[in-house]
Structure formats: C-alpha cells, structure tokens
Amino acid sequence: MDPHLGDKYPIKAAFPIAKLASKCLAPEPKMRPSMKDVLEMLQGIQGSTNKTVEVRGDH
C-alpha cells in the first residue's frame, strides 16, 4: 500500500482492489475488464465497505 495513504483507506477493500488491478494487467487484452466493468466493481467494493476514501496526491 502507498505509505502516503497512511490509514485513510478501508482495509477490507485493499484485497479486492488488488485483485481487480491484477485483472487489468492481464497480458491478453481480451482478458482485461472494460472500464465500465472496472467502475462497477469499484462501486461495489466501495458500497460493501461503506467508506469513502479521500486520496491526496501530488498529481
């Protein structure tokens, strides 16, 4: 986990988000989820944790 996040993320969401990121990095493009699917999965993860995470970056 990015140390800049400190404890400002739901622990329960870390593993499902990591699994999703892994799917997005599949070597075969056809095996990667669409952005629509990614959004739906992220919304489902957020809904199951009932927490909103604020991330402040240097971007």
Output the pLDDT for position 28.
Answer: 97
Separation CA 3–CA 36 (nearest Å): 29
Q: Which tokens go with 15?
A: 């593993």
Of 50 and 36, the structure prediction assigns the larger pLDDT to 36
**pLDDT tens figures, 14-41:** 999 999 999 999 999 999 999 999 999 9
Whole-Å CA distances, 47 to 2, 4, 30: 22, 23, 27
Of 16 and 56, the structure prediction assigns the larger pLDDT to 16
